[in-house]
Structure 1
Amino acid sequence: MSDPLRETDENVVPQGIDPLRATIRTRFRRGELARAYDWCLEGLKHYPDNLWLKHRAVLCLTRSGALERAQTAYAEFRLHEAHYDAECRALGARLLKSEALEAPLSDFTIQAVRAAEAYAAIYQETCSYYPAINAASLFVLGGQIERAQPYIQAVLEQSENAEQDDREGAYYLHASRAEAFLLRGDMQRAQASLEAAIALDPDNHAARSITLRQLRLLADHLTLDLTGFQALEPPRPAHFAGHLFAVGDGDNQMTALDEEALRVRVREALKTAGVGSLYGSLAAGADILVAEAAHDLGLPFHAVLPTPSRVFFETSVRPVSSDWSRRYDACLEHAASVQEVTSDRKQVGDLHLNYASRIAMGLARIQAAALCTRPLQILLWDGQDNQADRGTAHDARLWRLSGGEQVHLDVPSRVRYRGAGNEGETADTPHFSQSLRAMLFLDVMGSSSVPDDRVPVFVDAVLGRLARACEQFAPGLVYQDSWGDGLFLAFESVARAAEAAVTLRSEFEAIDFEALDLPASLALRIGGHFGPVHEGRDPIQRRQSLFGSQVVTAARIEPMTLPGSIYVSESFAALLALEAEKAYRCEYVGRLKIDSQKQRQPIYSLRRLRRPETSN
């Protein structure tokens, strides 16, 4: 069956429940949980009572870390009522496990044991190794090692000669043995069991990532060394960048032979590093060469362009040579996805180039986190960090600052093409300038229910409290405005905006509405976005303000947000993964229709990490 899930065909549903389930399984196995979840929801429009689609949708959310949304969906789908279905019961226990892992340290032990007991109850009825291994691990994490021993023994005994009819089942059988051996401290057998599991189902990257994350959590708790397990990680996502160059016989051009030699080196580097997917631009030269090598190896590459593709073509491809023009179109055709991060109709300089490259770097890191592996950056350049504000040197420096690993393939300085990529004007009006801003829109849901006589109290005790909390974010807070029951804030960085969002939510949750005689149903919604905005004088307010489609995007995310949650755009999530991935996590929610004139947009839920994460 052909894959119907390219971005251009996102509304095409495979005919029949079996092809649909096969498509979802394929995405799920690749670790593409976001797309698998989207297709579960799309399928439920056609098969609203299908229990498998409901279960897999919640499982996608759970595995991607979207705990709150998973719990909501579990209740909305009424999966807790499916007592006859062992997988649905196990999913309920899994949600308790996820809740425990997200709990503050002071509550973790109690919640871990609670989840362990839920799994233990399922094991008593089913005698299945799956609830047994989860009960064992959670009892260990909850500090009740003795209670874990019978379940560890049961897993090893039951799995020793057991057989499974399908590859995924065979994988989990051996992966559970690996986990049981690790709980006993037998690292050699644990590694051998995981190797056996992977050999049985080598393309199930989603399952492998979950296993590795679990083993790292246990190893951290038991102070065990997992260095030998790095070779078992799923294929790594990579960001790629490099110099523009022309191919020919001129003094400042790369010869055809040298280009072919570089192509061979790129393919070998991708294979040696274990790269599984790539993210980057498609400028003439290095970018297109890497994209072509990825296609040759059957690796998906995701093009992230600073402007619409034809605009980018006119400044960063066509001027270099007509040959690159043909290859550029072929790369667009072969790309797994093409993201145009702005709607500007001309190249506007360094700001947009940096914006696109930072999003591409962040997307690679988001995918690496989902797969529980280490992201990589592949550079085709001369290695000269000239402190440029854009280009390969800028991308290399930013990636190093984030602690990322790099592979450097040399491209001589003499062949660099220096006449493209920055030919547009920065603005049509001299009184306006462009800058990158992280924006938050906040709205108090239900404020219309506030009685007229309590409006002054609402303004002072609720909006006033939020406004006073904003004062601590100066000087990073560069713009703020209010309207009715809402706030609009803009920051220099996404890390600062994320800190403000979680702080303001905590401030709101601490308000005693009963004591203030205000409706208890009041709830805060926060939407966030990061992008280039136009800064200029507002002719109505007669002061500096922010304008443009990126501001509109930020405003339209907020109404889509679940009350009490913080929803952000993919660009916000990507930049946060690049700047502050140890402090925050953005969990995939789904593709939401925030603008009637545009396609559905990937939206994430922002969370502050409450427990230290194991390293990837």
Structure 2
Amino acid sequence: MKNTVDAEIRNGNLVRAHELCLRALQENPDDARLKHAAVICLLRSGAIDRARREFREYGLHQAELDEDLMALDARLVKAMAFEAVSEHFQPLARQSALRYGAVFEATGGSYTGVNAASMMALSGDGNQAREYARRVLSSGEVQAGNPQARYYQLASTAEAHLLLGDLRAAQVALNAALAEDPENYGAHAVTRRQLALVGSAMGLSAQSLPLPVLPRPFHYAGHIFSEVAELLPAGGESNSLAGRIEQALEQHNTGAAFGALAAGADILFAEAVLRRGASLTVVLPVPVDVFLQSSVQPFGREWVRRCEHCLGEADDILETSSDRVLISGASINLASSIAMGLARLRAEMLATEPVQLLVLDPSDPAREFGTARDGDIWLGADLQQSLIEVRRERSSARPKRPLEAEASDYRPAMRAMLFADVVGSSRIAEDTVPSFVEAVLKPMAMAARATSPAYLDSWGDGLFLAYSGSCEAAEAASQLMQAFKAIDLTELDLPDQLDLRIGLHFGPAHQGRDPLMDRDSLFGAQVSLAARIESTAMPGTIFASEAFAAVLAMEQDGGFRCEPVGLKRVDPQLPPVRLYTLRKVAPDSLVARAFRSSHGILETA
């Protein structure tokens, strides 16, 4: 069972891993490794307070001899430091360093030793940091093990050399680490963040540091055209558009790609990505067959063949709605925003910077949707962009709408939807229900109304709120969670197992009159999906759909953090969906500054 749990954690499926831990602990309640894994799942999913509480309840603070178990307390404090306001960062960093140091003294492990050194450097104590680093380097050579284990040992050696100011030795150790596990980009990202943090604490710029170079996720977009001859290189260059796209991908060291698959530039980008062996995620505003009818088939059979080939080779295909109609430009804009946000989220995971590549005719008139709009959104987020300028000959072929939207009293609206529920309320004794309503539900209702939702509803111990923007919904979720945590359940004689869970989703809903309640309400599959996401969230957490996390990535400035928790089947009738955890962080915290950083890495100054 432990091997299965470890595999799920490595693959990022934290929800599944946590469920397996709890199930296994029912049969093996004294298994410390399963308890450790359960806390790690909570920690990585953003439930830091709950992770700390279960750390104590499981008795892991009493662990001995096992370095990983003993270091968990220090790791929890480290997570708090990275999300804290700047004035609390150094005290928390020192607290984490001292706890790592105590484990290092007891075990002599290089993992805790180098973390003690790094956190001590971040706390401002360079002398103690260098002392720990020297001891790590003197502890012995790299031990035998699997490639990932050897990678981390060599990466720790590189970190220790960096703390001692020996950049050449750090680069040699880093090169050896990368050679051991060359395609483990997740591990490389951890090292990249850690070395950048240490270098920043030492006053070194990111450009001068030995850092792993990772492929850059990118968003692509471009004009639709029927024949390649319709899109001519600006200035009359002789090289082909496909060749210029290849050059741009190479120049910017691109990796995972995110975009649509309309005839023309989109398909040229996708084909170039697949030739490079990189990951392709196709994001469409409508189901595949509807998209083909509208944006590919009108431009010729050859484009259909090439589009279907790309669809067959894509790593993932996201249909952002089940609508059979392209409704104005709203659904197109949603798909574009999700594709851009996914590129930014992937870059954040890899501790690098995303880039946008556009095939664009600068003479095109401004539109509310399309390539130029996508470019403006990207630049508005202060992200790097590269244009492949072209001169377009106007074609008689145009994207067509497969079906026209019929007039209806139910209006389409893009909404950020929030469902919240108090877990464990069924255990409340009948005589304390009035107290529960007054002391728990009422403060939550007041917090909800204070966020000025576009729509609100309630049922029993649950809330349904909707907003126009993702930032408003994220802030509301944070306020609701804070309001619940401020309630003293013990004083109210309520079960201390009560907890709040929240689900978030962004997508098209239908707004119209509820025939039973005789008031405006929201309907549709996307509303149901939002409710299902809430029911899968771990207690004490805020879970968001991939669509919500992606849209938020393009709208926020770093005040919220979204991290993937894995695939989850939220409804037996639907395919699994990729979920993220969301939590609010201090605007001046390390993780918020990393989100805004031009290098995509944490910096202390």
Give 1:501 shift: 0.8
Residue 4 of structure 1 aligns with which residue?
none
Q: Compare relative contact order (CA 8 Å, sep 6+) and give the higher one, 1 or 2.
A: 2
Give 1:198 shift: 3.1
Residue 152 of structure 1 aligns with which residue?
133
Contact 1:34–1:588, Cα closer than 8 Å, also in 2: yes
> Structure 1 residue aligned with 2:470, among 494, 516, 524?
494
Give 1:201 shift: 3.6
> Structure 2 residue aligned with 1:433, among 411, 417, 437?
411
Deviations 1:23-51 (A, max 9, x none): 959x95xxxx43698699889999x9999
> Structure 2 residue aligned with 1:462, among 407, 415, 440?
440
Supply the AA of the counterpart residue of 2:550. Answer: A
> Structure 1 residue aligned with 2:112, among 124, 127, 131?
131
Supply the AA of the counterpart residue of 1:357. Answer: S
CA–CA distance in structure 1, aligned partners of residues 54 and 257 of structure 2? 32
Residue 293 of structure 1 aligns with which residue?
272
Contact 2:414–2:508, Cα closer than 8 Å, also in 1: yes
Residue 371 of structure 1 aligns with which residue?
350
Distance 1:400 1:230, change over 3 A: farther
> Structure 1 residue aligned with 2:197, among 217, 220, 223?
217
Matches within 5 A, 1:20-419: 33-34=11-12, 86-90=67-71, 93-103=74-84, 108-109=89-90, 111-158=92-139, 162=142, 167-187=147-167, 189-191=169-171, 193-229=173-209, 232-247=212-227, 252=230, 261-384=240-363, 386-414=365-393, 419=398
Contact 1:66–1:588, Cα closer than 8 Å, also in 2: no
CA–CA distance in structure 1, aligned partners of residues 44 and 542 of structure 2? 19
> Structure 1 residue aligned with 2:460, among 467, 478, 484?
484
> Structure 1 residue aligned with 2:532, among 546, 550, 556?
556
TM-score by length of 2: 0.85
Name which of structure 1's ranges 201-210 and 500-509 shifts more when overlaid on structure 2.
Answer: 201-210
Give 1:534 shift: 0.6
1:546 equivalenced with 2:509 (yes/no): no
Distance 1:171 1:450, change over 3 A: closer
Supply the AA of the counterpart residue of 1:412. Answer: R
Matches within 5 A, 1:440-451: 440-450=418-428
> Secondary structure of 2:299's match?
coil
CA–CA distance in structure 2, aligned partners of residues 93 and 155 of structure 1? 18
Give 1:95 shift: 4.0
Distance 1:337 1:212, change over 3 A: same
CA–CA distance in structure 2, aligned partners of residues 174 and 403 of structure 1? 35
CA–CA distance in structure 2, aligned partners of residues 156 and 240 of structure 1? 45
CA–CA distance in structure 1, aligned partners of residues 137 and 557 of structure 2? 37
Contact 2:324–2:403, Cα closer than 8 Å, also in 1: no
Contact 1:66–1:587, Cα closer than 8 Å, also in 2: no
Give 1:109 shift: 4.6
TM-score by length of 1: 0.83
Give 1:88 shift: 4.9
Give 1:358 shift: 0.9
Contact 1:66–1:589, Cα closer than 8 Å, also in 2: no
CA RMSD of aligned residues (A): 3.8
Residue 603 of structure 2 aligns with which residue?
none
Name which of structure 1's ranges 379-388 and 263-272 shifts more when overlaid on structure 2.
Answer: 379-388
Supply the AA of the counterpart residue of 1:172. Answer: Y
Name which of structure 1's ranges 93-102 and 369-378 shifts more when overlaid on structure 2.
Answer: 93-102
Give 1:119 shift: 2.9
Residue 9 of structure 1 aligns with which residue?
none
CA–CA distance in structure 2, aligned partners of residues 93 and 584 of structure 1? 23
Supply the AA of the counterpart residue of 2:462. Answer: G
Deviations 1:68-87 (A, max 9, x none): 68779989999889856545
Distance 1:364 1:416, change over 3 A: farther
Supply the AA of the counterpart residue of 1:487. Answer: L
Supply the AA of the counterpart residue of 1:120. Answer: G
> Secondary structure of 1:284's match?
coil
Residue 6 of structure 1 aligns with which residue?
none
Identity %: 40
Give 1:247 shift: 1.7
Supply the AA of the counterpart residue of 2:410. Answer: F
Contact 1:37–1:57, Cα closer than 8 Å, also in 2: no
Contact 1:433–1:534, Cα closer than 8 Å, also in 2: yes
Residue 10 of structure 1 aligns with which residue?
none
Contact 2:562–2:581, Cα closer than 8 Å, also in 1: yes
